[in-house]
Chain A
Amino acid sequence: MDKRIRRFYMPMTETSFYILFALQNEMHGYSIMQYVKDLTEGEINLGAGTVYTSLSKMEKDGLIVLAKTESNRKFYNMTDLGREILDIEILRIERLYKNSRT
């Protein structure tokens, strides 16, 4: 894995984590925000600029890929690299959780 990508996504910001987590299923910008809002019971309300900027960066870094464009909305999917990074992050967060409970 690229050093630059490792440095930027490990550890990942909460925003990046939830966006990447949402993209385990094909989604577009607004549906990602809705999904994250529901998942966190309204706790995390992503802004339009935040979602757009994150998606552009993740696409450029190869974590996600454009699946289709429908009525001007770009739908994204996670790539293998994205999956790999998300799994590493989930392990890290689980370890963090476990250690903070002992």
Chain B
Amino acid sequence: MEQSDGALSPYRVLDLTDEKGLACGKLLGDLGADVIIVEPPKGHPARNRGPFYKDQVHPEKSLYWFALNTSKRSITLNLETKDGQALFRDLVKTAHFVIESFPVGYLDKLGLGYEALAQIKPDIIMTSTTPFGSTGPYSSYLGSDLVCQAMSGLVYICGEGGRPPVKVACDQAYFLAGLQAAVGSLMAHYYRMMTGEGQHVDVSIQQGIIGGMGIGGPHEDWWMNHNIHQRAGIPFHQGPVRGVAPRQPVVNECKDGYVAISALRCPIRPVLQWMEDSGWDVAELKKREWTLDTIDFLTKPERDLIDPLVDKLVKSKTKREIWEGALKYRVPWTPMQTPADLPDDRHLRERNFFVPVPHDELKDTITYPGPPANLSETPWRIRGRAPRIGEHNLEIYEKELGLSREELSMLKTIGAI
């Protein structure tokens, strides 16, 4: 692991999360914190999740594990043994944050809940990420990414009429919850810096998505108008200036795939120019007085005129041509990129977004998504690949906690580490 030059370099995080919260520790680690992921002696369950490196199914080769555990160190520890618990308490004394995603009450039962840990380390911040939050009528309900997405309202409005609602791809609910666990931890940390007090942060995965229902209107349209949004794309709401603009689907077919065509704040004149430069006769349309110069604020008859032409223009172009044209004519349209397109995305490449991460254990270097942002003083940086099972046991237990080899071997024998 490379030396930390990140903002959070003075701080230690004990990461007890599973898939529900791994993104939290990753973010804190990439921001410089010393994140120690605590694995059961046989390895973390997320290691069994595919896809795998070169399709070799092996707990040390899970790409899912790689993706969510950069910049972390690993120890093995069995929290269900008395010795394991004692060791964990010793670790807590050296830590600033404990993040976890066990079922509600599990750590309390082991004597390792927030109250108990605050006895050992009064200013500890503990952040719990659970499907529905740690109190309330559903607190003991079982969740999954799909179930949490469904119960947030997002799934109901995703997809198309005539088919069942569909989730947003990848474990978005878990991912968002992990990020929000990081935000909550850091806000609690600010308060600790000001007052010396730690606290418990209680993250609900279900709630982690609902904030998004306030962008695009589904939430507001309910409390204002008791209008339930259906699966029909993002409605463009009526503006104060003009009447109701008709909705235009974002997803459009082009010559070699799909593109996202947004009427929202899309200027009409450059689109007409694009048509003309493509060899169409749009002289009449160019002469026309449009009520407003962006497509989303045009009237219904105007949209009836322009929309089929936009459709025809798009169908005649490739994804690459749409990308280039959108830049040239300054319209907010983009190709619908497949994940395989992303490594070649010219914009991301020029911003050095993708970073090589050495995997010494595989004698390979793997390309990862890099900084979401460039922080001028304290970079977001992947300081090392995801750890192997218990890779840092000796470093942490022996060098940092001062356990002897004999003690370590005994703890291993009884299954504590």
A and B, one complex? no
